[in-house]
Every structure is written in structure tokens, then in C-alpha cells.
Chain A
Amino acid sequence: MDIGLDTVSIVKAGQYIGAGICMGFGAIGAAIGEGFVGGHANRSIGRRIGMASPFTRTMLIGQAVAETSAIFALLVAVLLIFGNFSGNGLGAWTATMSAGICMGLGALGSGIGAGYPAQEALWGSARQPALGGQMTTSMLIGQAVCQTPAIFALVIAFMLMFKNCSGIDVWPYGASLIGAGIAMGFGAIGSGWGGGMAGGKACEGIARQPRLKSSLTTLMLVGQAVSQTPAIFALLVAIMLISIGPKEGTLLTSAAMLGAGISIGLGAIGSGMGNGVNAQGACEAISKESSTTKEMLTFMLVGQAVGQTPVIFALVVSLMLMFVKFQVPANLVGFCALLAAGISMGLGAIGSGYGNGDTGESACKALASNPEGRAGILPLMLVGQAVGQTPAIFSLLVAFILMFGNYSGPATLPAAMAVLAAGISMGFGGIGPGVGNGLTAAAACEAVGYRPDERGLLMRSMLIAQAVAQSTAIYALVIAFVLVFVI
């Protein structure tokens, strides 16, 4: 097969693959979110047949907002199909493909997230028909904030598409561009989704307790703003990769830039979602026990701050990959080592980030169920979250070992794949235990809400259960060590 390697064809190929990825992934989130809204519209109309027309109107408004991220994806896909970016040089194929990845994945979370406020607004109006207009306003505020990550993704997609790469070698700068797309695309998922969940519970709460509208809206906005942090980290890394990505370097530079994108992109998913879940719990809790409003804000912020730890680990690894000059050998083994460091940290942060949020959510609910038990809840939450950090710490450890390892053996394919597999093992292996630890700590927090007098016993039981749930992360760590050190 003879391949005519002219710039126009190569860049066009990148554009078309990017367009496919962009619209394919970009269609998932909005459609699911709109499905939630449609489902609850039917449920609400079923309850109040007479209100079919206002409910249908609210449904269509809510769905229209949820559609936004998919329309962004459509816009980028159409630009990629009909635009001609070959004037930007051969490297533009990486930029345009990456723009598609960025917008496609970046639309996922916001699309699903926008469904929650709308579904709760509809169901809330069915329970309290007098609130109709108010619910629509709250719905729109909640939905608007969870669009932010999709807007970040759109910005990065545009920066990528119109990046002039002429006169620059395709590699390693192309790896920076692809890394930027991965960082922002994946990095937007958790924050968009989680922010929506917080908005949903706030709307539900307003329907239950209309007099708490202003405190619920404040709590929702603060909670959603903090949930945006992981997406903002991803945005920063993406902008850095595009603007100061190295223009010359070896194969290792490419691996490091890709790894940097993967680490923060994947690593932002768990904390983004977890923060949202935490805020959702706080909103639900004050709508049940309004006397705790002030304290709930503190509780939520403490929980969210701790839940930020995994994404901060991921950010550290990303920045190190971008700026540290590593001593790994410039061959396939070194390439895989740097890539695997990003994979290990990125995937490994997902479970802990989400689990921490789950614990925070239950701690908020426990405070509402028994405000007198606050002295027992906060320490239990913090210990539970700290232990839940373990899988992310294992992943960080493996990432460091991979980055600073001494690969003196011969550079064979098996040696390279062993290193890559170490990252895969620890990365995926950290997800389950991270989530599981969070689930255990969550239930322990709720239990201590009912029985503050048994907090010692509950702390002990929680730690035993978490230790057992850690075991598979330890196996994954052992396998990663074997792959790095024994092979």
C-alpha cells in the first residue's frame, strides 16, 4: 500500500478522527441527562395530570440547557469536518484530533450533570405545584454552573484547533497537544457530573423547604464551585501543555507530556465527582434539619478539601512530568515508564477521590440526623477519608518509582511492557479499594449519627473493614513492584 504522506491528507485524517470522537462521546452525556429529565417529567405529569403543559415546558427548558454541551461538541465536530487546518503545518493533525477528544469527553459530565437539577425541579413542582416558577429559576442556576467544565473544554478545543504548528516538528509538541486534549476532556467529566448532582439535591431541598431557598442556593453554589477545582487544575495543565509544551526533545519528552495529560485528566474525575456528591449530601442534609445550616457549610468544605487530595497528587505528578528532567533511559523502557507513571496516578486517584466524597456526604447527613453527635462525626469522617486515601498514595508511590527508577537492564519489548503493566496494575487496582473504603466510612459516619455513644466501637469496626477492603490495592501494588523490580 502506497501512502501519499502529504500534509493536507494527514491533517484531514486527524480532523475526521477527531470529529468522530468528538460527536460520538459528546452525544452520550446530554442524552442521558435529558433522559433523566424526560423520565421525571412523565413521573410528575403522572402525579398531576392537570399540569401537563407547564411540566412539559419546564422539561423542554431543562433539556435545552442539558443539550448545550452536545451542541458544543457538534460545533467542534462540524468545524473539524469542514475546516481546513492544514495551513497550520503537519503537526496540526495532533492538534485537531486532540480538540475532538477534548470536546467529546468534556461534554460527558456536564450533559449528565445538567439532568439532575431539571429532574428534581420537575418532581419538586409536582409535589409543591405552587412553587413552579421558583423551581425553574433554581434549576437554571444549578444547571448553569455544571456547564462550566464543558465551557473549559470548548475553550481548549478552540485553542487546539487554531494552534499554528507550522515550522515545529510534529513530536514532541504533538504529544503535548494530545496530552492537553486528554487532560481537559477527561478532567471535565467529574466536575460536570458532580456539580449537577449537587444542583439536583439543592432543587429537591428547595421543593421540600421553600423557606430555605437562599441558604440552599448558597450551599449549592459554594459546593459546586469547590467541585470545579479539579476541572480548573485540568484546564491549567492543558493551557500549559499548549502554550509552553516543549518544541524539541526526545521520545521521552513525548511520553512525559502524554503522561502529564493522562495523570491530571483521569485524576480529576474522582475528586470532581466526589466533591459534587459531598455537596449533594450537604444540601440534602440541611433541607432535613435546617438548624445545622451554618455548621453544614464548614462540614462540607472540610470534607471537600480532603477529597481534593487525590487530584492534587495527580497535579503534582503532572507538573513533575512536565518540568522535571528524568534520568530514565531514552528508549522504549523509559518511554513506557513515564507514560505508566501518568496512568498509575491518574487511574489510581479516581477511586479515592470518589470514595472521599461519599464519606463526606454521609458525614453531612449524619450531622443533620443528630446535631448533638457532631463531636463523633468529624473525627470519624477525617479518619475514614484519610484511610480512603491509601490507594491513591500507593498509586503516587508507584508513579514515583516509575519516574525515578533505575532501568539498567537491556531495552527489550518485555522490559518495556512490564513497566507499562506496573502502571496499569496499580492504576486500575486503586479504583475499587478507593471507592470501597469510602463506602465503609460513609456508613460508619451515618451510624455514629444515630449512636454517638458507640463511636469508639464504630471507629474500630470501620478501620477493620477498611483494612480488609485495602487488600486488593495491596495485591495490585505487589504486582506492580514485581513488574518493576523483579523483571
Chain B
Amino acid sequence: MEISGADLVRAATFIGAGLAMGLGAIGPGIGEGYVGGKACEAIGRNPDEAGLLTRTMLVAQAVSESTGIYSLVVALLLIFVV
């Protein structure tokens, strides 16, 4: 198998994409789960405010999602653009 410089670069973009998305998914997954947990706890204590709490939860999760989306964007850039 002959490997040219371009092959090496292309291979590196794929490995980079895999690492970016894989490692990048860890944080948001844990963070969003933590937020969701606290929201459930709060709804358990104060069920009347479930709507407000769910809204707040979703806003917080969306923010915590952002780094996962950065990872996705970087992975897609590495695969399709670079």
C-alpha cells in the first residue's frame, strides 16, 4: 500500500474527527444529565412549577449542548471541508 502525503493528511482528518466528536460528547452528556436530574428533583419538591422548571432545564441543557455542537461542527469540518 503506497501512502502519499495527501493520504496521510486525509487519514489524520478522520482520526481528528473521531476524537473530536467522541471526546467532545462526554461533557455535554454528563452535564445535561446532571441538569435533568436536578430538574426532576426540583419538580418532585414543587410539582406546580413543573412548566417553569422544565423550561429552565431545557435552556440550561441547550447551553451545555453548545460544546457538543462545536465538536460536531469541527468533526464535520474535518470530514467534509478540510
Partner of B22, one of A428, A443, A465: A428
Instruction: Give the residues from 46 to 81 in chain B that come closer than 8 angstroms, CB to CB, to chain A.
Output: 47, 50, 53-54, 57-58, 61, 65, 68-69, 71-72, 75-76, 79
Q: Which residues of A sit under 8 angstroms from B57, Cβ to Cβ?
A: 461, 464-465
**A165-173, A206-214, A285-293, A467-475 - interface stretch:** A467-475
* Contact in complex: B44, A424 (CB < 8 Å): no
* Contact in complex: B7, A412 (CB < 8 Å): yes
Alpha-carbon gap, A442 to B44, bound state (A): 13
**A10-18, A310-318, A429-437 - interface stretch:** A429-437
Q: Which residues of A sit under 8 angstroms from B30, Cβ to Cβ?
A: 432, 435-436, 439
A381 to chain B, nearest CB (A): 13
Alpha-carbon gap, A478 to B62, bound state (A): 19
Alpha-carbon gap, A429 to B22, bound state (A): 4
- Does A205 reach chain B (CB closer than 8 Å)? no
Alpha-carbon gap, A428 to B24, bound state (A): 8
B75 to chain A, nearest CB (A): 5
B-side interface size class: 35 or more
A101 to chain B, nearest CB (A): 22
Instruction: Give the residues from 435 to 487 in chain A that come closer than 8 angstroms, CB to CB, to chain B.
Output: 435-444, 446-448, 450-451, 454, 457-458, 461-462, 464-466, 468-473, 475-476, 478-480, 482-483, 486-487
A150 to chain B, nearest CB (A): 28
Alpha-carbon gap, A439 to B40, bound state (A): 10
* Contact A428:B40 (CB < 8 A) given known A421-B14, A450-B45: no
* Contact in complex: B40, A420 (CB < 8 Å): no
Q: Which residues of A sit under 8 angstroms from B72, Cβ to Cβ?
A: 475, 478-479
Partner of B21, one of A355, A441, A470, A479: A479
Q: Which residues of A sit under 8 angstroms from B36, Cβ to Cβ?
A: 436, 439-440, 443, 461-462, 464-466, 468-469
* Contact in complex: B34, A436 (CB < 8 Å): yes
Partner of A475, one of B15, B21, B37: B21
Alpha-carbon gap, A482 to B27, bound state (A): 22
Alpha-carbon gap, A359 to B43, bound state (A): 18
* Contact in complex: B68, A425 (CB < 8 Å): no
* Contact in complex: B26, A431 (CB < 8 Å): yes
Q: Which residues of A sit under 8 angstroms from B10, Cβ to Cβ?
A: 413-414, 417
* Contact in complex: A482, B79 (CB < 8 Å): yes
Partner of A439, one of B1, B11, B21, B37: B37
Instruction: Give the residues from 388 to 413 in chain A that come closer than 8 angstroms, CB to CB, to chain B.
Output: 391, 411-413
Nearest A residue to B31 by beta-carbon distance?
A: A436
- Does B82 reach chain A (CB closer than 8 Å)? no
- Does A322 reach chain B (CB closer than 8 Å)? no
* Contact in complex: B40, A454 (CB < 8 Å): no
* Contact in complex: B7, A413 (CB < 8 Å): yes
* Contact in complex: A479, B75 (CB < 8 Å): yes
* Contact in complex: A472, B25 (CB < 8 Å): yes
Partner of A332, one of B1, B14, B33, B75: B1
* Contact in complex: B29, A425 (CB < 8 Å): no
- Does A42 reach chain B (CB closer than 8 Å)? no
Q: Which residues of A sit under 8 angstroms from B79, Cβ to Cβ?
A: 479, 482-483, 486-487
* Contact in complex: A425, B61 (CB < 8 Å): no
- Does A351 reach chain B (CB closer than 8 Å)? yes
Q: Which residues of A sit under 8 angstroms from B41, Cβ to Cβ?
A: 443, 446-447
Alpha-carbon gap, A19 to B10, bound state (A): 37
Of all A-B residue pairs in the complex, the 5 with the closest CB atoms, nearest first, are A436-B33, A465-B36, A447-B44, A432-B29, A421-B18
What are 5 A-B contacts defined by CB distance under 8 Å?
A420-B18, A432-B31, A468-B36, A468-B65, A469-B33
